[in-house]
Amino acid sequence: MTEELFVSGRHIEHIDPYLNLWGGPIAIYLFLGGLAAAILIFANFFFLMGKADKYPMTAKVSTLIPPVIISFGLILLVYDLHHKLYFWQLLLNFRIESPMSWGAWTLTFIMIPAILWPLIYMRDIIDYLSERNPACRLLGLLNWIDKMANKFGIVRFFIGLAKTYQKPMAYITIVLSLILGVYTGILLSAFNARPLWNTAILGPLFLTSGVSTGAALLMWMSKNHDEKRLFSKLDLILISVEIFLIIHLFMGMKAGPLVQYDTAMLFLGGPYTSIFWVGVMGLGLVFPAILEILELNHYKIPSWLPALFILSGGLAFRYIMVYAGQFSSYNIL
């Protein structure tokens, strides 16, 4: 028989406070949200700069991805809810102080341009894919979507309306995409009871990480040499900013109160040290940055290699932040 003496309820499981509710689905949802936001930002920005025809992969073809991954992310979000049948109530109420409310409404509104944008360029997308890979299985589905879009008058009306006001729609989409990218971090930082999440850096950090993964994916997908180099250079800048924000995050924690210091030590000698500094910082940021520098200096580095590491690192970063955030707490002996 083991006798234990409790001087408070803080160290009893499920007591004061207990949070171990979010897992893999939420981490994937945050990753997909940031990736979709990045693709929409680049596509609309290139259109506004008049480079849609010069970089068709970024401005046109890549826009097939956001509505798909946003929809999948929403499925994961609903799956993670305890009361799944009541998810629609988020869309009937708006609370300005609630990050979850902001996220639900942003995702709802951003789906409109996310769907309309590829429909505007559907024929261009089909022609682009047909020229490069006539056997692409996606062509059959795209031709069917184009046929259905032209069949229904209401759909043709909205596509025509989107073409007429495409420039203001692009500006609105960029703003919504920035909100979506920042929201993926603010969703966590709203939980003040978790010291790892209780920082204003998470919003800019998640936005930068999401844009970096988007740049890496577009670099991988593009067949245009100039387009690849452009995104490689841009990604190096984003990786540098991301590393700066991560270092600043831990510096701020180490200089803060004891609970913040203890939280930082989870990554500086604690259980998350190896997986974070090797898996995220090393293989997810520094190593692909070195590969991109070599590629820019005319070394033969396949573009998919650094892109794969950046995407894997971005996903691993969200997994670690979700799980480590729930592990951190204000419980002090």
What tens digit of pLDDT does each residue of 254-291 get? 887 888 888 888 898 888 999 999 999 999 999 999 99
Under a CB-based contact definition with an 8 Å cutoff, are residues 66 and 39 in contact?
yes
In a domain, 313, yes or no: yes
Residue 263 pLDDT: 86
pLDDT, averaged across the chain: 85
Grade residue 332 by pLDDT with cuts at 50, 70 and 90: very low
Beta carbons of 311 and 216 less than 8 angstroms apart: yes
Average pLDDT over residues 91-115: 79
**Buried-exposed string 213-239: b where 16+ CB fall within 10 A, e elsewhere:** bbbbbbbbbbeeeebbbbbbebbbebb
The token pair at 75 is: 């499925």
Does 126 map to a domain?
A: yes
Average pLDDT of the residues in 240-258: 89
Asked if the structure places residue 16 within a domain, the reply is no
Q: What's the structural domain count of the chain?
A: 1
333, pLDDT greater than 70: no
Question: Tokens 């991109």 appear where?
Answer: 292
12 is a domain residue: no
Q: Does residue 18 lie in a domain region?
A: no
Q: What is the pTM (predicted TM-score) of this model?
A: 0.88
Residue 57: the pLDDT is 93
Q: How far apart are CA 102 and CA 87, in angstroms?
A: 14
In whole angstroms, what is the distance from residue 147 CA to residue 141 CA?
Answer: 10
Distance from C-alpha of 31 to C-alpha of 48, rounded to nearest angstrom: 26
> Would you say residue 10 lies in a domain?
no
CATH number at residue 165: 1.20.1630.10
Q: Provide the domain limits for residue 89.
A: 24-327
Q: What is the pLDDT of residue 88?
A: 67
Residue 46 near residue 58, CB atoms below 8 Å = yes
31 domain-assigned: yes
In a domain, 189, yes or no: yes
How would residue 44 be classed by pLDDT, with cut points 50, 70 and 90?
Answer: very high
At 176 the pLDDT is 93
Percent of the chain with pLDDT over 90: 44
Q: Which whole number is the average pLDDT over 64-85?
A: 83
Q: How far is CA 195 from CA 45, 166, 260, 261, 279, in A?
A: 36, 43, 6, 10, 22
Q: Check residue 330 and give its pLDDT.
A: 66
Tell me what pLDDT residue 2 has.
60
pLDDT given for residue 191 in this prediction: 75
**19-28, 35-44, 115-124: least confidently modelled range:** 19-28
